[in-house]
């Protein structure tokens, strides 16, 4: 996995409010590096009540260039608070000897 190609930044074109209720979240990975990507998201104050951390949303690949794949998902945040974690295939990460914290450190 090319961790140098992984890119996401909040408050940018990679996470922005599309309408009053809908947010687009994007991620860049190296081309053909991931078969699927998920986003786990929800209201941080409803973590235990709704257990949203157990309900990942599949991101769709929206664009591929010679170097990168771009992934996107639409999310809502009814109380305008959002906590999220991008999840790259954990089984593939393990093959490369990576853990989620390794990915977090490059984001």
Contacts of 28 (CB under 8 A, 6+ apart): 5, 6, 7, 8, 14, 68, 69, 70, 71
Separation CA 98–CA 80 (nearest Å): 33
HSE at residue 70, side-chain half, CA atoms within 13 A, is: 11
Q: Are 86 and 37 in contact (CB under 8 A)?
A: yes
Predicted TM-score of the model (pTM) = 0.78
pLDDT of 91 strictly over 70: no
Q: Are 105 and 50 in contact (CB under 8 A)?
A: no
pLDDT of 17 strictly over 70: yes
DSSP state of 12: B
Average pLDDT over residues 10-20: 89
Chain segment 53-90, per-residue pLDDT in tens: 777 889 999 999 999 999 999 998 888 888 888 877 65
């Amino acid at each position: 996995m090319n961790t140098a190609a992984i890119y996401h930044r909040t408050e940018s074109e990679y996470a922005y409010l599309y309408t009053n209720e809908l947010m687009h979240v994007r991620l860049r990975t190296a081309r053909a590096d991931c078969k699927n990507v998920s986003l786990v998201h929800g209201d941080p104050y409803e973590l235990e009540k709704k257990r949203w951390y157990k309900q990942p949303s599949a991101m769709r690949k929206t664009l591929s260039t010679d170097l990168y794949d771009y992934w996107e998902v639409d999310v809502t945040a009814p109380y305008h608070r959002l906590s999220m974690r991008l999840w790259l295939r954990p089984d593939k990460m393990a093959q490369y000897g990576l853990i989620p914290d390794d990915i977090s450190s490059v984001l």
